[in-house]
Amino acid sequence: MKIGILGYGNLGRGVESAIRQNDDMQLTCIFTRREPSSIRPATEGVAVYSADEIEKLQGVIDVLVLCGGSATDLPSQTPEYAKYFNVIDSFDTHARIPEHFAAVDKVAKENGHVALISCGWDPGMFSLLRLYGAAVLPEGKDYTFWGKGVSQGHSDAIRRVKGVKNGKQYTIPVEEALREVRSGSNPILTTRQKHTRECFVVAEEGADLLQIEKDIKSMPNYFDEYDTTVHFISEEELKEKHAEIPHGGFVFRTGVTGLEKEHKHVIEYSLKLDSNPEFTASVILAYARAINRLSKEGVSGCKTVFDIAPAYLSPLSGDELRAHML
Amino acid sequence: MKIGILGYGNLGRGVESAIRQNDDMQLTCIFTRREPSSIRPATEGVAVYSADEIEKLQGVIDVLVLCGGSATDLPSQTPEYAKYFNVIDSFDTHARIPEHFAAVDKVAKENGHVALISCGWDPGMFSLLRLYGAAVLPEGKDYTFWGKGVSQGHSDAIRRVKGVKNGKQYTIPVEEALREVRSGSNPILTTRQKHTRECFVVAEEGADLLQIEKDIKSMPNYFDEYDTTVHFISEEELKEKHAEIPHGGFVFRTGVTGLEKEHKHVIEYSLKLDSNPEFTASVILAYARAINRLSKEGVSGCKTVFDIAPAYLSPLSGDELRAHML
């Protein structure tokens, strides 16, 4: 199957490298809103086009992977390009998923394409685990923890603080909270009890460090409800020790069964990812395979990971899956 | 939806209690190969029939849950009853799944029913996690560990040893092996390195304990490839401390991404179950909901967990799932 990528940032480059790990896929072209000649793909022989030319590639690619951001790119791009292609995105603004779904579904159905939104690990794999957990343990509670990992949104927020030159924020799950959940005691946990936040900040010369720390720790929504630690480091140290984009987290479902609810059960799923965008890209490609198959079966409209039978993700046949993986 | 149960052992009773935790389900009847009057359901007003009368209940129940064993019951029961009902079983003889699938698929298709085989946690939830893991990290390795928990097959094997009155066997994953896998180092592990086996044995009076221990530890397939510990205890202690049927385990997928394969990722899924049959029953009911829906959509034939889109398992609508679980 032939894949196109729109947007050549961290996620786009992750998709490019993940395509090399899937024998049934090839990267056909990259679309960019920058000057195409400024893009140097890592893969030889891949064409780079301006995003303005995208319509002309209809019929040439099987699935277009949209690698833009959820704030401003995807709400317009995904419905727009579902006119011309099967598309997949990683839209992760949880609260706006219903309206995004509706907009994409309409266009995809009108144009006979399959779209899949909100793919990756959260939303994505974590969503699946929440659904499976609730379905198989209907009387219970679920818990999602993130980290240890870099939060792009919180790192951006730090960098907007006056006197800050650069910075990176790690979200860290609280060990004690993980232990309590694992025990099956179904604890009620506050925001502060679940995660801590650790910031590595490069200050501008002469900046008021105490004021920066105060501004970060009191920032509403981002930091005020958490125990936050701020470390001031040099630009060199930031580059050396904090250049990577690791992430991960945990999804738990804990619940009871039995006539007297006497038996406890704990389901735990965790991800430990060296590269958030590369893992996200890898999940996206498995679902790109699925929507390409659905499209060939004549299906159209917008889907999420909830709507895709697992077998569609695998390059193996049903016979092979039953013989070797069941 | 109306559920029937065939076989009122541990699994059948687990299904009965799990039905009470699913508001959209009711237990309509229990079928048994014993004398029906010998069965006392925990649920008031549930009819108990002889398995010989099962055909007469066509049209009265939506899904029949087959609670027999994989060795002799299910290979004949599942294809037989797929003539009359949508059926679901927990067939767990991994090597014979392809032939069981083929036999059930033929009958289910001929009679317009949906069947789902090999449901539970392994095969079942663990199979799903193996498939998802391999699909999203194509360059990697997977690992399945079982325990700590009671293995029914190994407990039966102990009880067949000369001089043994009663016994129970626990399968235990080796902590060091779990640690190595978690590190992402993709170790190659022998059978002995992955699990140990612990046996609690009640000997007959005057039996040769050393001989029993030797017979157990040298038993081919069951124990000879493992480090096994044998404890002799009284019948009272066995009843007091080893009456429960806990189980669980781990599925890992570890793999790499990146142009230079420079990033490691570790996916870990684990179950810690106080009651193996009750959890299995609870998984089965979620899939019973799914096949009932598929049947209403006009689908027929044999399915496995690989073929079922996750949304079918949940009592929530697509809108609700997208709004609250994605």
Q: How far is B43 from chain A (nearest CA, A)?
A: 10
What is the rounded CA–CA span in Å between residue B168 and residue A125?
37
What is the rounded CA–CA span in Å between residue A164 and residue A250?
31
What is the rounded CA–CA span in Å between residue B34 and residue B292?
28
Interface check for A212 against chain B (CB to CB < 8 A): the answer is no
Return the number of other C-beta atoms located less than 10 Å from residue A118's C-beta.
27
**pLDDT at A280 (0 to 100):** 98
Q: If you search the block for the tokens 């939060």, which residue do you land on? A: A151
**pLDDT at B2 (0 to 100):** 97
**pLDDT at B10 (0 to 100):** 95
Residues in A touching B130 (Cβ below 8 Å): 325
Q: Could you tell me which of B77, B307, B109 has the C-alpha nearest to residue A326?
A: B307
Largest CA distance in chain A: 68
CB distance A301 to A105 below 8 Å: yes
- pLDDT tens for A67-96 read 999 989 999 999 999 999 999 999 999 999
In a mutagenesis test of the A interface, which of B90, B136, B178, B314 is the best target, namely the one with the most A β-carbons within 10 Å?
B136
Interface check for A258 against chain B (CB to CB < 8 A): the answer is yes
Residues A214-225, mean pLDDT to the nearest whole number:
95
Residues in B touching A135 (Cβ below 8 Å): 286, 289, 310, 313-314
Q: Which amino acid is at B27?
A: L
Residue B37: helix, strand or coil by DSSP? helix
Phi, then psi, of A201 in degrees rounded to 5:
-120, 130
Q: Could you tell me which of B172, B21, B121, B11 has the C-alpha nearest to residue A267?
A: B121
**Mean pLDDT (10-residue bins), chain B, 326 residues:** 97 98 97 94 94 92 96 95 98 95 98 98 98 98 97 93 97 98 94 97 97 96 95 97 97 97 98 98 98 98 98 97 96
**pLDDT at A76 (0 to 100):** 97
The DSSP code for B121 is: B
Q: How far is B208 from chain A (nearest CA, A)?
A: 37
Q: How far is A162 from chain B (nearest CA, A)?
A: 34
- pLDDT tens for B186-214 read 999 999 999 999 999 999 999 999 999 99
Q: pLDDT confidence of A105, banded at 50, 70, 90?
A: very high
> Using CB atoms and an 8 Å cut-off, which of residues 182-211 of chain B contact chain A?
182, 184
Residues A132-138, mean pLDDT to the nearest whole number:
98
What is the rounded CA–CA span in Å between residue A179 and residue A173?
11
Give the number of residues written for chain A: 326
Distances in whole angstroms, Cα of residue B306 to Cα of each of A77, A301, A310, B86: 32, 22, 5, 18
**pLDDT at A125 (0 to 100):** 98
Distances in whole angstroms, Cα of residue A50 to Cα of each of A33, A214, B167: 6, 44, 71
- pLDDT tens for A21-41 read 999 999 999 999 999 999 999
Q: Which residues of B4-13 are buried (b: 16+ CB within 10 A; e: fewer)?
A: bbbbbebbbb
For residue B15, what is the nearest residue in chain A, using CA coordinates?
Answer: A258
Strands, sheet with B114-116, edge to edge from the N-terminal-most edge strand = B47-50, B26-32, B2-6, B63-66, B86-88, B114-116, B301-303
- pLDDT tens for B82-111 read 999 999 999 999 999 999 999 999 999 999
Phi, then psi, of B144 in degrees rounded to 5:
-120, 130
**pLDDT at B74 (0 to 100):** 96
Q: If you search the block for the tokens 């541990």, which residue do you land on? A: B10
Q: How far is B216 from chain A (nearest CA, A)?
A: 30
Averaged confidence pLDDT in chain A: 97
What is the rounded CA–CA span in Å between residue B249 and residue B151?
12
Residues in B touching A268 (Cβ below 8 Å): 268-272
- pLDDT tens for A288-315 read 999 999 999 999 999 999 999 999 999 9
**pLDDT at A1 (0 to 100):** 97
- pLDDT tens for A227-259 read 999 999 999 999 999 999 999 999 999 999 999
Residue A279: helix, strand or coil by DSSP? helix
Interface check for A135 against chain B (CB to CB < 8 A): the answer is yes
Interface check for A282 against chain B (CB to CB < 8 A): the answer is yes
Burial of B293 from C-beta contacts in 10 A (0-12 / 13-18 / 19+): middle
Q: pLDDT confidence of A197, banded at 50, 70, 90?
A: very high
A136–B279: do the CB atoms touch at under 8 Å?
yes
- pLDDT tens for A257-270 read 999 999 999 999 99
